[in-house]
A and B are shown apart, each in its own frame.
Chain A
Amino acid sequence: MSIQKISLTTVGALALGAAVMSFVSSGTVLSLLTQATIYAVFAIGVGLLLRQNGMVSFGHALFFGSSGYAVGLLLQAKAVPAEMAIVLTLAGLLLVAFAIGLVIVRVPGVSFGMLTLAVGQMFFLTASRSRGLTGGADGMNIEWPSSLFGVSMSVLTRPSSMFMLSWGTLVIVILLLTLLLATRFGSITEAVRDNEERARFIGIRTLLPRAAVYALSALVTGVAGLLSALNTGFVSPESLHWSLSGVALMMVVVGGYKALWGPALGAVVYFLAKDVLGDYASHWMAIFGVALIAVIVFSPSGIAGILDRLLLGRRLAHKPHAVPTAATVRH
């Protein structure tokens, strides 16, 4: 994609968000859209790991919940201003995730999924049991100051501005990732994903790029966690639970992970469908389970893949993407 096309898409996406913000007057609809957008950022984090490393994480809620807890605890301690707390949280998350990544990306294939699940549950149990620090299962309120980055809190948490903030973050995250993956870093990680052994033979050190992708996907997920903490002013162990990681993964698969924006589409579809299915809400698990199985079986590239085929027609058939397949995902 050329720079012009990228900037045009970005401006268009931001304008779309502004249009939604100004034409949707219902606060309920806006807050539903805000939630969908926050989860879209979350899903992009999980999708990035799958797209760029070929790895499925069942434990990304760890980073979603942790960033909420970290900023909550920093604000509670009142040691640093809120802006600094946000920066520290994200920087800390990136470092910790990189360190965790150095250990766990060495575990191949499906074991990796199980390991991420276990590590995530470890933090979930810790947060649920440390009543003194985190309020245990009741969760903790986050004491945001009266203004953030010079914007008054009452303005910031209005449904319309909260939506625009989340939407803007989503667009910028996709923009930055698109630019980053167009660099040498993107090619290296794709080479490592497609054939780790061959990448090693041509002199690429494979551990660091894998861990870097893991850390980056954790950072994106952490940004979503921060948005959620700002949106609700609250964090509880549920935001660390593995079922949340599973939900994010469903969004990634349903939306399609081969396109960077696929997971975001999955998140929006998930929230809208959940709302539409309101009458059958008690059976949403079964409905989404069946939908998940159907998408995986009939369209492995998800809704994004279907759209791509419809929009681009046969052009795509002659230009195969480098996507992980049975032969290339390491197992």
Chain B
Amino acid sequence: MLTINLFNGLTYGALLIVMCSGLALIYGLRRVVNFAHGSLYMLGAYIGYSIAGASNFWVALVGAPLVMASLGVLLDRYGFRLLQDRDPLTVVLVTFGLLLVIEDFVQTVWGKSNLSVQAPAALNFSVDLWGTPVPAYRIAVIAVGLAVALGLSLWLRYSKVGLFVRASSTDPTTTAMQGVNTDALSAGVVGLGTALAGLAGVVAAPFLSLSPSMSSDVIIDSFVVVVVGGLGSLAGAFVAALVLGMVQSLGAVYLPDESAVLPFAIMVGILIWKPAGFAGSRT
């Protein structure tokens, strides 16, 4: 019993890692808290559903994030870049407007009923984990989450572009003066962040059903993660995502009455103790 719950917690945590690293990247470079991130996740899931229906899941896994990446680049070029000198709160409200538009678009194109995506045949088996059978697909989700976490950390730490990203998120003006094209960099990073939201959507599709309400649950959980982890801290978000996944999963079993409130209670507790989040240095 405990094994399967820990395992489910890990799966949801891995999904949140993919979601929140996109959110944290966009915040890091553009100082934008993207309220539409959950809707982008939903859009990615529905685009994945259509691609998977036309060909197969593996094409969707690559195709949907690519579509989302181009959308992200456009969003940065025609949205965030034009608004970069404005009050951060107004940009938050613009993303809220975007959320409404995307939600309406998804409901118009795909309807309001629940849809589902089949897990690929190659992953449609169970693995024995300490006497508990667990679906292989969920192991793959955990692998994706860890790969995203590891890949992003290595990319930011060791690649030249990663260095530029870190420099630009600390001081964009100086970075631009050193000859880095920060506009292209931001567009690329927002594209990457949006692609990650789309990837999370496609990955989630086979184990969470697609519905017009799927965005609001995940965006609120993601906010809890980035606030608890510290806005802009990727490492903080990774840890907080895993902790929240566990809290959700174990809470539902051991404290069913309080489970809904638990993540928020943790969030409030952390913020009283450390208003910038446990790994955050800036806001």
Contact = CB atoms under 8 A, between A and B. Distances in A.
Given A108-B283, A289-B99, A297-B83, 7 more contacts: A110-B283, A111-B275, A126-B260, A288-B97, A293-B101, A324-B87, A331-B88
B32 to A, nearest CB: 9
Interface of B: 31, 33, 82-83, 85-90, 92-94, 96-101, 103-105, 108, 216, 220, 223-224, 226-227, 231, 257, 260-261, 263-265, 267-268, 271-272, 275-277, 283
Contacts, number: 127
Contact of A114 (B93, B104, B226, B272): B226
15 contacts: A56-B92, A109-B89, A111-B271, A111-B275, A115-B268, A119-B268, A121-B220, A122-B261, A125-B260, A250-B97, A285-B101, A288-B100, A289-B101, A290-B101, A293-B101
Contacts of A289: 97-101, 104
Contacts of A296: 90, 93-94, 97
A302 B89 CA distance: 15
B283 A111 contact: yes
A246 B275 CA distance: 24
Contacts of A325: 87
Contacts of B33: 110, 113-114
A78 interface: no
Contacts of B231: 110-111
Interface string A85-116: 00000000000000000011011111101110
A110 B261 contact: no
Given A286-B101, A289-B99, A293-B94, A118 B223 contact: yes
Contact of A249 (B93, B264, B277): B93
B89 A286 contact: no
Nearest to B31: A331
Nearest to B108: A283
Contacts of A253: 93
B100 A286 contact: yes
Contact of A107 (B31, B216, B224, B275): B275
Interface string A271-291: 000000000001101101111
Interface of A is mostly: helix
Contacts of B271: 103-104, 107, 111, 115
Nearest to A122: B264
Contact of B264 (A118, A282, A283): A118
A242 interface: yes
A300 B89 CA distance: 11
A106 B85 contact: no
B224 A118 contact: yes
A285 B36 CA distance: 14
A326 interface: yes
A285 B108 CA distance: 11
B103 A285 contact: yes
B247 to A, nearest CB: 13
A260 interface: no
A129 interface: yes
Given A114-B33, A286-B104, A326 B96 contact: no
B94 A110 contact: no
Which of B33, B93, B227 counts the most A-chain CB atoms under 10 A from its CB?
B93
Contacts of B216: 242-243
A292 interface: yes
Given A113-B92, A115-B271, A249-B93, A285 B104 contact: yes
Contacts of A108: 275-276, 283
Contacts of B267: 115, 118
A117 interface: yes
Contact of A110 (B85, B89, B98): B89
A56 B89 CA distance: 7
What 7 A-B pairs are tightest by C-beta distance, nearest first?
A289-B100, A286-B104, A125-B260, A292-B97, A122-B264, A289-B101, A293-B97
Contacts of B86: 300, 326
A329 interface: yes
Contacts of B264: 118-119, 121-122
A290 B220 contact: no
Interface string A116-144: 01110110011001000000000000000
